[in-house]
């Protein structure tokens, strides 16, 4: 059986190296670990190991540097890239809070669309200037995120995200949105997510429901959308990089489009972070219209908020004149409050 093993550098000569291969096996020194009982074959296996979480997948970043763990209890049969040493000082154990300028576990999950974290987003979009329209507009978007942590079809979990847009009346009665207000099309993103040594990936069938109360507020057509996502945290936990692609096509007309959401997050001390935010590049393949806004977001996770931790962020977005064709928001601002339910 062919296995691809990732070789890790060693802090000192006393550090055993643990690697993961495609088949989920572990290699410790010259011995391959394939079951919990095999840990007994490790030198000093009864001594807890202190794992360096900088080399762990992002969903396991609570296991930060010098956290004392029993490998027999921690290992669940999957292969993960880790590096460990014998824990000399049990008092060095951490509680999983963020340190330095790396992302704490909850802060990282709050910015990761593939994380096993229940959340409820309240997004407030303010459009102050638009192409092919004048005036300004507002829309509220409710976005619950519901992960189902259960192995299905070889994936680790299933995540569904219904997006429920509610539009306020436009100040511009002659613009493309007219003066309509009400409910838009409800779009449900569905993803089967798989954990890997380097991060996570997933795909699934998303659905557009024709719930718009006015033709100006949505397609009012049933649409199916193949969707895919890739998320990769940096080894030092300071960055989260990835992207989400959604390609809806109508079951009732020739309407088709492709949207890409790049994800770039830089974690800062005290649970602050900056990034490109809710940046969606959209291309309507049947009409040729497109829009590529440039966005910047700053936010913070308030872990002590009650009854649930809160993720609060502000974002500004600008679409350059040459980066669009057809109607598009020129300046748009987003204020988001998200309840995090660990």
- Any idea what the CATH number is for the domain that residue 184 is in? 2.40.160.40
What pLDDT shows up at residue 219? 85
Torsion of Cα atoms, 161 then 184 then 275 then 136, to 10°: -170
208 with 248: CB under 8 angstroms? yes
Same domain, 131 and 254: yes
How many domains does one find in the chain?
A: 2
Same domain, 175 and 305: yes
Same domain, 112 and 55: no
Q: Which of residues 92, 113, 148 is at a domain's end?
A: 92
97 falls within a domain:
no
116 with 138: CB under 8 angstroms? no
Domain with 62 in it: 17-92
86 falls within a domain:
yes
Same domain, 79 and 112: no
Same domain, 87 and 172: no
Same domain, 86 and 214: no
Indicate whether 322 pLDDT > 60.
yes
37 falls within a domain:
yes
> What percent of the chain is modeled with pLDDT above 70?
67
Same domain, 156 and 79: no
142 falls within a domain:
yes
Q: Which residue has the higher pLDDT, 175 or 311?
A: 311
- Give exposure, 319-337, as e/b (b: 16+ Cβ within 10 Å): beeeebeeebbbebebebe
- The values of phi and psi at residue 194, to 5°, are -120, 130
What pLDDT shows up at residue 137? 86
Per-residue pLDDT of 138-171, as tens digits, reads 999 999 999 998 888 899 999 999 999 999 876 5
Q: Which of residues 37, 61, 92 is at a domain's end?
A: 92
Pairwise CA distance, residues 298 & 312, whole Å: 9
Q: In Å, how far from its chain's centre is CA 83?
A: 25
Pairwise CA distance, residues 139 & 167, whole Å: 4
3 falls within a domain:
no
Average pLDDT over residues 287-301: 96
pTM above 0.85, yes or no: no
What pLDDT shows up at residue 135? 72
Same domain, 171 and 53: no
Say whether the peptide bond before residue 307 is cis (omega within 30 degrees of 0). Answer: yes
Same domain, 86 and 112: no
- Coil, helix or strand for 112? coil
Indicate whether 8 pLDDT > 70.
no
Pairwise CA distance, residues 180 & 166, whole Å: 11
Same domain, 80 and 127: no
Token pair belonging to 126: 């303010």
Per-residue pLDDT of 20-75, as tens digits, reads 433 333 333 333 333 333 333 333 333 334 433 333 343 433 433 333 444 433 44
4 falls within a domain:
no
The H or E element that residue 288 is part of is: none
CA within 13 Å, CB half, 175 = 21
């Amino acid at each position: 059986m062919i296995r691809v093993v990732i070789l890790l550098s060693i802090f000192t000569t006393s550090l055993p190296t643990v690697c993961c291969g495609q088949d989920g096996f572990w290699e410790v020194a010259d011995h391959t670990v394939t079951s919990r009982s095999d840990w007994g074959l490790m030198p000093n296996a009864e001594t807890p190991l202190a794992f360096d979480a900088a080399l762990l997948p992002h969903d396991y970043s609570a296991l930060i540097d010098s956290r004392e763990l029993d490998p027999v209890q921690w290992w669940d049969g999957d292969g993960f890239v880790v590096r460990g040493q014998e824990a000399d000082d049990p008092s060095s154990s951490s509680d999983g809070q963020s340190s330095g300028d790396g992302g704490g576990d909850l802060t990282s999950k709050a910015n990761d669309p593939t994380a096993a974290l229940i959340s409820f987003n309240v997004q407030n979009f303010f459009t102050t200037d638009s192409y092919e329209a004048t005036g300004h507009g507002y829309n509220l978007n409710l976005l619950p995120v519901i992960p189902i942590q259960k192995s299905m079809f070889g994936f680790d979990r299933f995540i569904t995200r219904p997006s429920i847009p509610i539009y306020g009346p436009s100040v511009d009665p002659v613009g493309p949105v007219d003066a309509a207000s009400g409910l838009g099309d409800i779009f449900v993103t569905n993803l089967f997510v798989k954990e890997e040594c380097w991060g996570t990936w997933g795909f699934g069938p998303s659905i557009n429901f024709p719930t718009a109360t006015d033709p100006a507020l949505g397609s009012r057509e049933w649409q199916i959308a193949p969707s895919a996502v890739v998320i990769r945290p940096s080894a030092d936990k300071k960055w989260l990089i990835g992207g989400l692609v959604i390609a809806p096509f109508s079951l009732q007309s020739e309407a088709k489009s492709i949207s890409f959401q790049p994800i770039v997050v830089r974690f800062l001390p005290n649970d602050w972070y900056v990034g490109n935010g809710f940046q969606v590049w959209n291309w309507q393949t049947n009409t040729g219209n497109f829009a590529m806004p440039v966005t910047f977001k700053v936010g913070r996770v308030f872990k002590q908020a009650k009854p649930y931790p809160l993720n609060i962020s502000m974002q500004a977005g600008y679409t350059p004149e040459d980066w669009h064709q057809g109607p598009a928001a020129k300046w748009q601002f987003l204020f988001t409050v998200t309840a995090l339910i660990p």
